[in-house]
């Protein structure tokens, strides 16, 4: 996996498809790695010929270690912009699932002019409630004590639609293994950073790029009502629900998810 030096910090990234042209940058969720995008990115890049770039955020995989102090959405957005600079990319389509969406909002605050299309999957504009912030801190402390298993127990049951959780052991195992691959300090740092993220609701009306919103119809972490609220506020947004899917809609129905993204990318050409 290639590694870029961003302000002296290693950020690893995967590339799919051609290495020229306006790319789509896909940002991963918490507490996962860029590999969560593999299925979608392979089809978009290797089959459909779109340029796709997937960073591992700081502390993840071969990227430089980070945490356990807060790793903020602003810092992550800065790294993604730094990666784009490193690759000589001026404008790009930006996509993020869940935490990836929170980071996309932070990136829009830093450099909205560089984003020519936006994909918000299973995410929300709001900040954490006080109770949510306490849960993040509790999770950070438990992961630092007990390791990633604490995050597996807290997160994986909420990732999927109930039927997926019961019947798709392969996806449950995949999420479990991916979380076990993330350093405890990183999980703690990202959790603390998520607790600090600002409310992005006011930002939504200022988004100028065409926007695709995707949401699993059974997403309990960032439910369809959140997706609909974003659609109602973003001027040029379309919402596509993924039936029978939960929070990990790109894993639960990769065909529907990828088809929606591909058709959106086509509309931007």
Cβ proximity to ligand MLT: between 29 and 210 the closer is: 29
Cβ proximity to ligand MLT: between 91 and 181 the closer is: 181
Cβ proximity to ligand MLT: between 188 and 221 the closer is: 221
Residues in contact with ligand MLT, shown as a per-residue x/- string from 62 to 91 under the rule CB under 6 A: ------------------------------
99 belongs to the binding site for ligand MLT (CB under 6 A): yes
Residue 135 beta carbon to ligand MLT: minimum distance, rounded to whole angstroms: 9
* Three-state DSSP state, 59: coil
Distance CA 16, CA 29 (A): 19
- The per-residue DSSP string of 11-52 comes to EEEEEES-SSSS-EEEE--TT--GGGGHHHHHIIIIIT---E
Long-range contacts of the stretch 137-142 (C-beta < 8 A, 24+): 137/191, 137/192, 137/195, 139/187, 139/188, 139/191, 140/68, 140/187, 140/188, 140/189, 140/191, 140/192, 141/188
**Binding residue for ligand MLT (CB under 6 A) from 98, 176, 186, 258?**
98
Site for ligand MLT in 182-211 (CB under 6 A): 194
Sequence-ordered strand ranges (E) for the chain: 3-6, 9-16, 24-27, 52-55, 92-97, 115-121, 211-216, 237-242
Residue 90 beta carbon to ligand MLT: minimum distance, rounded to whole angstroms: 27
* Three-state DSSP state, 56: coil
Residue 65 beta carbon to ligand MLT: minimum distance, rounded to whole angstroms: 20
171 belongs to the binding site for ligand MLT (CB under 6 A): no
55 belongs to the binding site for ligand MLT (CB under 6 A): no
Residue 48 beta carbon to ligand MLT: minimum distance, rounded to whole angstroms: 25
Cβ proximity to ligand MLT: between 52 and 99 the closer is: 99
Site for ligand MLT in 30-49 (CB under 6 A): 30
* Three-state DSSP state, 117: strand
29 belongs to the binding site for ligand MLT (CB under 6 A): yes
143 belongs to the binding site for ligand MLT (CB under 6 A): no
The angle, 0 to 180 degrees and rounded to 10, between the axes of the packed helices 184-196 and 73-86 is 110
54: β partners: 14
Cβ proximity to ligand MLT: between 108 and 221 the closer is: 221
Q: Which residues bind ligand MLT (CB under 6 A)?
A: 29-30, 98-99, 194, 221
């Amino acid at each position: 996996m290639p590694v870029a030096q961003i302000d002296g910090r290693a950020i690893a990234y995967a590339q799919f498809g051609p290495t020229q042209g306006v790319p789509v940058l896909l940002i991963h969720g918490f507490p996962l790695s860029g590999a969560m995008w593999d299925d979608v990115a392979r089809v978009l890049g290797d089959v459909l010929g779109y340029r796709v770039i997937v960073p591992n955020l700081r502390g993840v995989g071969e990227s430089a270690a980070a945490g356990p102090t807060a790793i903020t959405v602003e810092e992550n957005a800065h790294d993604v912009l730094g990666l784009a600079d490193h690759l000589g990319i001026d404008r790009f389509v930006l996509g993020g699932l869940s935490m990836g969406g929170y980071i996309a909002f932070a990136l829009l605050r830093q450099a909205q002019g560089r984003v020519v299309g936006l994909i918000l999957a299973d995410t929300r504009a709001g900040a954490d409630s006080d109770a949510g912030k306490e849960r993040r801190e509790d999770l950070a402390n438990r992961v630092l004590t007990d390791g990633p298993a604490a995050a597996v127990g807290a997160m994986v049951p909420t990732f999927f639609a109930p039927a997926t959780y019961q019947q798709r052991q392969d996806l449950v195992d995949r999420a479990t293994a991916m979380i076990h691959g993330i350093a405890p300090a990183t999980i703690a740092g990202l959790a603390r950073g998520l607790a600090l993220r600002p409310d992005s609701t006011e930002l939504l009306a200022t988004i100028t790029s065409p926007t695709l919103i995707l949401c699993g119809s059974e997403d309990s972490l960032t439910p369809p009502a959140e997706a609909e609220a974003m659609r109602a506020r973003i001027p040029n947004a379309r919402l596509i629900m993924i039936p029978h899917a939960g929070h990990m809609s790109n894993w639960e129905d990769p065909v529907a998810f990828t088809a929606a993204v591909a058709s959106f990318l086509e509309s931007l050409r």
